Amino acid sequence: MESNLVKLHIAVKEQTEKFKLHFMEIAKSNVIDDYRSLPKKIDSANKKIDEISLKEAYIRKTYVDDMGRIISMQLFNESVPLLRPLWKERDKLRTAINRYERQIALGEERYVTNELQKIEMTFDSKVFGLADKLNKKSFLPDDLKFSDISLDPKLFDVYITSGNNKVHARSVLAAVGSEHMIAHFRFIITNAR
């Protein structure tokens, strides 16, 4: 016999399928645009590295002579705290450039496929999380009803009822345009009035 949570998960998954299909269509377009913008991201990161190198050279002039010898240990010691953030930023940029180059090397089709798989897995896990939240609020899968789900890919907004229970479920679309995370939903549910 299936547990209430499994039945809820199946019911929620069925109810959100139309929204998911629409969301994945929009996500595909965004992922393609993201892939095509990778060369621009590399150029931008390289320009920032050049700016950091200029700042570093300017700071080094305060404690190094023309022959590259340290002329003042005191000035050197004062400069290191100024240089550390520049070094960290340059390392982050180089790491990002390496990641972008690996993504370009995959080719557009493979990159898009990989990213869409990640997005779909994240969406599915959040749907399971939504079912878990409904289970904790004593929702029953047999009489689960969803009001019309918005087809705005940036906002999942629906009222869910089961018997006398009613909640307002909505999502927060997080990490859009982020370089470190894929776009994903966080479902929020509150008691409806």
Report pLDDT digits (tens) over 100-112.
999 999 999 999 9
Give the closest residue to 62 by CA, choosing from 51, 75, 53. Answer: 75
Whole-number Å distance between alpha carbons of 109 and 6: 34
Phi, psi of 180 (to 5 degrees): -115, -10
Residue 73's domain comprises 4-191
Q: What is the pLDDT of residue 160?
A: 86
Give the closest residue to 151 by CA, choosing from 29, 63, 20. Answer: 20
Give the closest residue to 192 by CA, choosing from 145, 141, 132. Answer: 145
- At residue 34, what is the residue type? D
The answer to whether the beta carbons of residues 141 and 160 sit under 8 Å apart is no
Indicate whether 32 pLDDT > 80.
yes
* Conformational region of residue 180, where left means phi above 0, alpha means psi within -120 to 50, and beta covers everything else: alpha
Extract the tokens encoding 31: 């992922």
Whole-number Å distance between alpha carbons of 68 and 84: 19
Predicted TM-score (pTM) of this structure:
0.74
Percent of the chain whose pLDDT exceeds 90: 28
Domain count of the chain? 1
Summarised one tens digit per residue, pLDDT across range 167-178 is 888 776 665 556
Query: Which residue do the tokens 């029953």 mark?
Result: 140
pLDDT band at 44 (very low <50, low <70, confident <90, very high): very high
